[in-house]
Structure 1
Amino acid sequence: MLLSLQPVITIRLKGRRGVGALNNVIDAFFLTYAALFPIVNPLGGALIFLNVTNNCSQLMRHKLAWRIAVGGFLLLACSLFSGSYILGFFGISLPAVRVAGGLVIAVMGWKMLNSTDAPAEADPGRARSEEGALDLAFYPLTMPLTFGPGTITTAITIGSQRPDLLTDFDGAAIHDIAVIVALLAICATVYLAYRYADELKRVLGKNGTSVLVRLSAFIVLCIGIQIIWFGIADLIQSLPR
C-alpha cells in the first residue's frame, strides 16, 4: 500500500514545487516591470524623443528606437547583475550616483523646457542631421533621458535582492530568467512607444504636441531635482555623528 502511494506523493510534491516556481517567476516579472515602468516613462519619453529627432526621417527614428531599446537592455542588465560590484570597485555609493545623475537630468530638462520652436540649428539639444542623430543614440537619448540614474539605481537595488546562487541555485536561476524577461518587456515597450511617436504627434496635432513636450520637459526637470534631493538626503544620513 505504501509503495503504491509513493509515486502519487512524488507527483504531488513536484506539482507543488512547479506551482511555487511559477508564482516566483510571475512575482519577479511584475515586480521588476512595475518598478521600472514609471521611472522609464516610455510615453512621456516618446515625445521628447520626437522633439530631439525632429529633422530625422521615419526610417531613422525606427533605427534610433531600436538602438535605444537594445542599449537600454544592456545598460539595465549590466546595472542589475553587476552594478553593485562596479560601484564597490570604484568606491562610489548609490547616493553619489543619484546626485550626479540627477544633475544631468535636471540640466537636460531645463534646456528642453526653455527651448524654442526655432530650427534645429539654433537648438544644441536636437539632431541637426540624420548622421548627427546616430551620435545621440546612446547619449542623451538612451542615457539619461530614457534610462537615467533613477532607472539604474532601481535596477541595482533589484539586483542586490537576488537569491544567492550558492545556497539556492534553482531559485536564483528562475528569478534571473524572470527578471531578464521583464527587462526585455520594458525595452520592447520603449521601442514601440518611440517607433510610433510620430503617430502620437499626428493624433495630438502641433499645439498638443508642443504642450506635452513642455510638460514632459518639466517632469524631467522635477525628476532630476527629486533624484538630487534623495541623493543629498542619503549622503547627509551617512555622515558620522
Structure 2
Amino acid sequence: MNLLSTWIAALLIVPATLLPILNPLGKVPVVAALVAGQPPQIHRRLARQVAVNCWFLMMGAYLIGSHVLAFFNLSLAVVQLAGGILIAVAGWRMLSDQQDDTIQKAVASTCEQGWSEETLKVRSFYPISFPLSVGPGTISAAITLGASTPTRLKDWLLTVSAAVLGSFIAVLAIYLCYRHAARLVALLGRLGTIIVLRLSAFILFCIGIDIAWRGVTEMLGQLPK
C-alpha cells in the first residue's frame, strides 16, 4: 500500500507541476491562428503530432536534461535566457506584423489543400511544440523533477514509470485543447478572435521577457561578490 501511494504521488506531481506552466488553454488562440484555413484533418494530425513532440521533449528533459546541461557546461539560467528570447521574438513578430494584417487574414482565410506531411512536421515542432508549448519554463521544471529521482533501481523505475504516465496526462490536455482550437476560437467570433490573438501575442511577448529576465537574474546572482 505504501508503494502504491508513493507511485500515485509521483504520478500526480508531474502534471501538477507542468500543466500550469504548459497552459495549453491559454495557447489556443495562437495555435488557431497558426493553422487557420487548414482542413479539420490537418488540425487533428497537428494536435496529435504536437502532443507526441511535447511528450518526448518533456521526458527527454526529465531523463537526460541535467546530464546534457552538465556535458555542455550549461546552466538552467542560460536555458531560460535563450528560450525566453525565442518566445519574446515570436510574440513580437505577431504584434508588429501589420502587412495585410496577418492575423486577420489568417482568421478569415480558407484553404482547399492542407499542409504537406513535411510542412506539418516542421510547423508542429517549431514554433508550436517548442518554444510555444514546451518552453524553457517547462524544460527547467522537467529537469528539476528528473534531477530529484532516487538512485536505487527499484525506486528509480517506480518514479520514472509514474513520470511517463504523468507526462502523458499533461500532453493529453495539450492534444484536446489544440485539437479543438478552431472550435474554441469560433465561439469568440471573428472580432473577438482577432482581439484575443493580439492580446495573446502581447502575453506571449511578456512571458518571454519574464523567462529571460529570470535567467539573467539567476546569472547575476551567481557572480562573485
Q: Normalising by structure 1, report the TM-score.
A: 0.83
The residue that corresponds to 1:5 in the other structure is none
Measured after TM superposition, the shift of residue 118 of structure 1 is: 4.8
Q: Aligned residue for 1:149?
A: 136
CA separation in 2, counterparts of 1:223 and 1:88? 26
C-alpha offsets along residues 190-218 of structure 1, whole Å, 9 cap, x if unaligned?
01110111110222211222222222222
Amino acid at match of 1:231: G
Q: Counterpart in 2 of 1:158?
A: 145
- 1:110 offset after TM fit, Å? 1.4
Letter in 2 for 1:216: S
Unaligned ranges ≥5, structure 1:
1-18, 121-127
**1:26-82 deviations in Å (ceiling 9; x for gaps):** 222222111111111111112211101113111111111111000110111110000
Say which is worse superposed, 101-110 or 199-208, in terms of deviation: 199-208
Corresponding residue to 1:188 among 164, 167, 172: 172
Instruction: Quote the Cα distance in structure 2 between the aligned partners of 1:28 and 1:217.
Output: 34
Distance 1:114 1:238, change over 3 A: same
2:2: which partner in 1? 20
Q: 1:175 aligns with which of 138, 141, 159?
A: 159
Instruction: Measure the CA separation in 1 of the matches of 2:86 and 2:137.
Output: 12
Letter in 1 for 2:71: F
SS in 1 for 2:149: coil
Q: Shift of residue 25 of structure 1? A: 1.8
Partner of 1:29: 11
Letter in 2 for 1:138: F
Alpha-carbon distance in structure 1 between the residues aligned to 2:191 and 2:121: 28
Aligned to 1:63, the other structure's residue is in SS state: helix
Q: What residue identity is the alignment partner of 2:105?
A: P
Alignment match, 1:14: none
| 2:105 paired with 1:119 | yes
Q: How many residues align?
A: 213
Shift of 1:119: 3.3
- 176-185 or 109-118, larger mean C-alpha shift: 109-118
Rounded Cα–Cα distance in structure 1 between residues aligned with 2:198 and 2:6? 41
| Match of residue 199, structure 1, among 174, 183, 187 | 183
| Partner residue, 2:47 | 65
Contact 2:62/2:143 (8 A) holds in 1? yes
- The answer for the alignment partner of 1:215 in structure 2 is 199
Which structure has the larger Rg? 1
2:49–2:121: 8 Å Cα contact kept in structure 1? no
One-letter identity of the residue aligned with 2:188: L
Mapped to 1, the partners of 2:122 and 2:37 lie a distance apart of 14
Amino acid at match of 1:222: C
Structure 1 segments of 4+ aligned residues over 4 angstroms from their partners: none
CA offsets 1:94-136 (integer angstroms, 9 cap, x no match): 111100000000111112233434535xxxxxxx962344421
Q: In 1, are the aligned partners of 2:104 and 2:194 still within 8 Å (CA)? A: no
Give the gaps of 5 or more residues in structure 2.
107-112
Using structure 2 for the length normalisation, give the TM-score.
Answer: 0.89
